[in-house]
Amino acid sequence: MKANTSNSQEKVVFVIDHNVNKDVLPISEKSFNYVSKTLDAIMLSHNVSTDNLYIGGSKRSISVWISNIISLYHMKQLEIENGTLSVNDDPDFDN
């Protein structure tokens, strides 16, 4: 039996079939909304509005971009406590 050999390609295009994704629900509605709003903000900053979006670039560039969206989403989930009142007794901070 011959092993599968991979073909090295300069560019590969993955397309998500729009007919399929109508039946597929996001795992997390919050994360879906966050990514959707992020994409809307990027398009708005370039004066673009569309429901069809194609993203291209190197594997590394796309990986960095997606990982940054994930990281920012996780940071958004952090609860940040305002502790500015606790520095009033600290001599290193001017009041």
Contact residues for 65 (Cβ-Cβ < 8 A; gap 6+): 55, 57
The predicted structure's pLDDT at residue 64: 92
Measured CA to CA, the distance from residue 14 to residue 16 in angstroms comes to 7
Q: Say whether pLDDT at 7 is over 70.
A: yes
pLDDT range class, residue 22, cuts 50, 70, 90:
low
In angstroms, the Cα distances linking 56 to 15, 20, 75, 81, 87 are 12, 21, 26, 39, 48
The predicted structure's pLDDT at residue 2: 56
Residue of 75 and 58 predicted with greater confidence: 58
Q: Say whether pLDDT at 44 is over 80.
A: yes
pLDDT range class, residue 47, cuts 50, 70, 90:
very high
Residue of 55 and 14 predicted with greater confidence: 55
